[in-house]
Amino acid sequence: MINDIDTVTGPFFDLYRGSSSPLGATISRHGVNFSVFARDCTGVELLLFDQVDDAQPSRIITLESRRNRTYHYWHTFVPGIGAGQLYGYRVAGAFVPQRGRRFDPSKLLIDPYGRAVAVPAGYDREAGCLPGDNAAVAMKCVVADPRGYDWEGDVPLKRSYSKTVIYEMHVAGFTRHPSSGVAEDKRGTYAGLIEKIPYLQDLGVTAVELLPVFQFDPHDAPLGLCNYWGYSPVSFFAPHAGYSSHKDPLGPLNEFRDMVKALHRAGIEIILDVVFNHTSEGDHQGPTFCFRGFANDVYYTLAPDGGYINHTGCGNTLNANHHIVRRLIIDSLNYWVKEMHVDGFRFDLASILSRDGEGRPLKNPPILWDIESDPALAGIKLIAEAWDAGGLYQVGSFIGDSWKEWNGEFRDDVRSFLKGDNGLIGRFVARLLASPDIYGHQEREAEQSINFVTCHDGFTLNDLVSYDKKHNEANGELNRDGADANLSWNCGVEGASSDPGIELLRNRQVKNFLAVTLLALGTPMILMGDEVRRTQLGNNNAYCQDNEIGWFNWDDLRLHADTHRFTKELVKARLIHSSTVTGDFTLSELLGQGRLEWHGVRLGSPDWSHESHSISLTAWSVSRRVVFHYMVNAYWQPLRFSLPSPLKLPGRSWHRWIDTSLASPEDIVPWEEVPAVDSDSYLLPARTLVVLIAKVPMERRKSAG
């Protein structure tokens, strides 16, 4: 409720005292309550604007400490305004960097709790860095009423991880390319993604993990380029306005919610990649547009001399375990779940959240336990990128019971083994089994491991098998940016090749990586476009490439129809219920519940030596009515594998399901059409993965039921 309807006379008109709670801009029948946290300042002004490009506010409301301040919260109630009102703040105070205070009353500040942000056509990041007024070219907040939307009964899906296949994607990059077939005014927008939901359904994925959609600063990039990925947050509540096809300031809210509702209707969850580790304000040379101008020493971790501690590689580090910042993070997560209906979050550089105000790791980080124990987040997917740029690596030791982790060890070990490195056989096998060497001590579900070989950060799957070295010249940093160690192999030629032999080998390796990722125990994640061999031309850090380097080229769907089909069949087999196939398990549960027998090229003799490049595995279902036999040859010569006898039930024989050396459609065969293998051995060409199935014939299965 809005309290105290007593008025004071400001320099422009009468204003009300307002309430410190809730934070942000809150609409009531008679107007809007504004509240913001600003510690150690000497004065606060609320500025109202008529147009986003206005250099001057239409009204200025000066908040008085005596009436408009409660503790460190400054507040006022403004009658007669509502949704769509543009606003910002100016905050005065001492500029004493060595004490952590960087107040600048000339800068227009957006509300840390603003639900919508409008960006002027002439937005200028540099103006936020230089002395003087920047109102004409600064972002502005928009008063919004999140209640004014018809969800039509929609709720988060809360699907189990065992039935989840994640597709990491970029909202804009998915449809920006002209080949997408999306109308020009909807390309690169939430609405454009809605049009392509049938593609996602056909692919079979059950969740999309969107690169950042919080409002970010597109100008936080090298000169002449843009921040395309969005890891440059400006707001933790407002959806990015640049992804909306609507022109009105509140358009992004409804369009985002339309997208969520449409995805849910298609049975697809939405996971947001969230950046609670730094902001776009950067270091001491960066702009002042929000947090720095309200309470610099609260929002950021600072060194004793007042300088910014940089454990993110982005200039500053959010002080996540300060009680004010903890509340901000929790309120943000609650908002996106309750009001925007998202299904989960992937936390970028999540290890930052385990550091204190001076950057030291904490044994029991308060913010992580806040998130873990918040009842509003119960059942919501929480995924950690369990490392940071300051050297903290917590894969396998990230705190809490609800968190799942991006398994960087899976990525690295699978890459190394399949390209033929020595000393990887034991680690490769562990990755197939949900990394018990990393997670076994925690007695957690296998799905704690988010298995991936590629993600937005690094090579695409096509480039992983096409380039030995990064090629980031287009980023304007002399190829110095991006990781140097990619564990990639170009299959003999750097970059695109017209050699049929090279192309066949690359295609086989792509399918090997896809098969391992989607068959391994754990939760699989694939990168947008890997199913059609999308290339970034060797760029492994395309954060600033809002062009064909970073976009999904839909022509690839025709050019690489075989890998698209291969991926679809793998996803379908992983998720399909075994009642139609096997009778007692899902494929994703087989390695965790069945009986396993390890072999090498000879039965019962797995080669665990340093030079080993091959392994085979027989996996019996719980009822022993179905058997799978996996064979992997990562060696550069063909190998013949002996096959175990499947004849422990009458009428059972081996059938070939997958052979990545074969051309489509023989590379993966639908369950109902698998051809018989009439031999006691199987020859695997170099760098090939094969999966055989032995099952009770359908007529015997019916009689046995």
* Confidence grade of residue 3 (pLDDT, cut at 50, 70, 90): very low
What's the start-to-end Cα distance of the chain, in Å?
Answer: 63
- The answer to whether residue 685 is domain-embedded is yes
Burial class (CB in 10 A: 0-12, 13-18, 19+), 351: buried
Residue 671: CATH number of its domain: 2.60.40.1180
In the chain, the percentage of residues whose pLDDT exceeds 70 is 93
Number of domains in the chain: 1
Checking if the pLDDT of 517 tops 70, the result is yes
- What is the DSSP pairing of strand 24-27 with strand 14-16? unpaired
| pLDDT at residue number 586 | 64
Going by C-alpha positions, the residue among 16, 106, 3, 97 that lies closest to residue 61 is: 16
Q: Which of 21, 3, 22, 17 is nearest to 46 (CA)?
A: 17
Domain assignment present for residue 635? The answer is yes
**Quick one: pLDDT band at residue 16, thresholds 50, 70, 90?**
confident
- On the CB side of 481, CA atoms within 13 Å amount to 18
DSSP string, 78-106: EET--TT-EEEEEEE--EEGGGTEE--TT
Q: Any idea which residue has 């609800």 for tokens?
A: 402
Question: Going along 261-326, which residue ranges are E strands?
Answer: 269-274
Half-sphere exposure of 347 (CA within 13 A, CB side): 28
Within 13 Å of residue 477, how many CA atoms lie on the same side as its CB? Answer: 18
Cβ neighbours of residue 359 under 8 Å, at least 6 residues apart? Answer: 301, 309, 311, 317, 390
Confidence of residue 564 (pLDDT cuts 50, 70, 90): very high
Distance (Å, whole) CA 587 – CA 628: 10
Query: 154 catalytic, yes or no?
Result: no
Which residue is catalytic, options 195, 273, 343, 348? 348
Residue 493: its pLDDT value, please? Answer: 98
User: What's the pLDDT score for residue 607?
Assistant: 97
Q: Give pLDDT, residue 705.
A: 37
Catalytic residue among 168, 343, 385, 409: 385
Structural domain contains residue 610: yes
Rounded Cα gap, residues 384 and 481, in angstroms: 24
E strand or H helix at 69: strand 69-70
Q: Is the pLDDT of residue 580 over 80?
A: no
Contact indicator for 216, 198 with CB cutoff of 8 Å: no
Average pLDDT, the chain: 93
Q: In this structure, is residue 602 part of a structural domain? A: yes
Neighbour order of strands in the sheet with 654-659: 595-599, 614-620, 626-633, 688-695, 654-659
Least Cα distance to 116 among 223, 181, 27 occurs for: 27
Q: What are 495-511's pLDDT values in tens digits?
A: 999 999 999 999 999 99
Residue 5 has pLDDT above 50, yes or no: no
**Backbone angles phi and psi of 246, in degrees to 5:** -90, 150
Is position 142 within any domain? no
The closest alpha carbon to 350, from 377, 373, 329, belongs to 329
Indicate whether 562 belongs to any domain: no
- What pLDDT score does 585 carry? 57
**33-68, pLDDT tens digit by residue?**
999 999 999 999 999 999 999 999 999 999 999 999
pLDDT at 258 > cutoff 50: yes
Q: Which residues pair with 104 in a beta bridge?
A: none
Lowest mean pLDDT among 238-247, 442-451, 527-536, 563-572: 442-451
pLDDT given for residue 578 in this prediction: 43
Task: Examine the pLDDT at 644 and tell me if it is beyond 90.
Answer: yes
Is 348 an active-site residue?
Answer: yes
Is pLDDT larger for residue 380 or for residue 440?
Answer: 380
pLDDT at 587: 65
In this prediction, residues 89-111 reach a mean pLDDT of 97
On the question of pLDDT at 542 being above 80, the answer is: yes
E-strand stretches of 312-369: 344-347
Mean pLDDT of 94-111: 97
Q: With residue 659 as reference, give the H or E element that holds it.
A: strand 654-659
Asked whether residue 464 is assigned to any structural domain, the reply reads no
Residue 668 sits in which domain range?
Answer: 578-704
Residue 229 has pLDDT above 50, yes or no: yes
Residue corresponding to tokens 């002399």: 478
* 350 located within any domain: no
